[in-house]
Structure 1
Amino acid sequence: MTNTFIHAIENRRSIYALDKNVKVSKEEIIKTIQEAVKFAPSAFNSQSAHAVVLFGSESERIWGEGGIAERELRKVIPEGQSFDSTAQKLASFNAGVGTVLFYEDQAVVKGLQEKFALYADNFPVWSEHSTGLTQFAVWTALSEIGIGASLQHYNPLIDAAVQAEFDIPKNWKLRAQMPFGNIAAPAGEKEFAPIDERVKVFG
């Protein structure tokens, strides 16, 4: 019997060659992301994970020429160093149809720390688990409807500019960005370490 979940996570790959020729509707993409965020698990059912979905010109405000990512990166790249390779990478993200911004609500984390003081030190760690699970769920769900994506981490460099640009609540902490679109070229072969070195079984 085929395990459809294993098949789904096997097919989820980092897709960098994107274009805008998606075969599914904007509404289906939104619903897929909403359901993945809704059902992703979190410690104490905190539901601290949030997502902001940007389409078209809104996504271009992040990745487009002269956009947030370029402006913030140019501030930190040493003078005289070529920006060409970085510009090409940003252009590849901009070639898709949209971007998911992943956030963790720090007010939720703080509230749990106050309510369950015994575990206070653990809640920031569990928050990172929450966003990772949510990112994985969204990524895999998009893959299942034929949408390619990759996971980027331009935070904290772009945090303040994105917060101001899209009026993001101050208690939301940006954890990752996921540009997505039609798969213009598949991912290459992936190498795996021997599984018996990674999974130990006793008994």
Structure 2
Amino acid sequence: MNNDSSSAENAIEFSDIADLFLRYGSLSSPSFFDGRMVASLTLATDDQDTASDEWLQEICAVLGVEQPHDREDAEVLLGWRSQARHQLADEEMDFEPLLPDELFSVPERAQSLKMWALGFSEVIDEFGIDDSWSAPLREAIEAMAEIGALDLDEGVTDDSESEDDLLALYEHVRVTALTLYLECHPGNPRVYKDDDQSSSQLH
């Protein structure tokens, strides 16, 4: 994704998806489904990639509707997917998981990170570990599953130590997703076309 001002202004943020989910009466975690979506995109090749309309159907099922209420909601949902696709493929490697920002408490952000890792790990489990993946990547994916299984009921507070731990785990999640994408798409940083636009340790 380009770092120009227009791209920044049009970026899909966690609050955009969370607000949309709430308007549809869904209490599901946007971060969980972002993790699932990103894992699917990292594993996909051109001929295996889930089409935009199939993604829309999948997320509409989560929201309990057959289709978005209006064109604007459809554009937000497709833009969410398109943004992740382009961030993963961009040579700047500026991919960011869809997670709440610093306006949320550390425990809330930690819970969302856990849900993101859980969603990502579920797709990896469905796909299976590929023996061709590097040993460091396989270890990182195992650690991702551990993040998704963390018990956050105790010990996570709004202090600098928990914040530092959270940032370290965030970076692990981000880099693992990018590494998996790069190993599944060697030498091709811009695999995807603009097809989306036409239908997009804690203490």
Which TM-score tier does this pair reach, normalised by the shorter chain?
Answer: under 0.3
Q: Give the structure with the larger strand fraction.
A: 1
TM-score calculated relative to the size of structure 2:
0.26
Q: Which has the larger radius of gyration?
A: 1
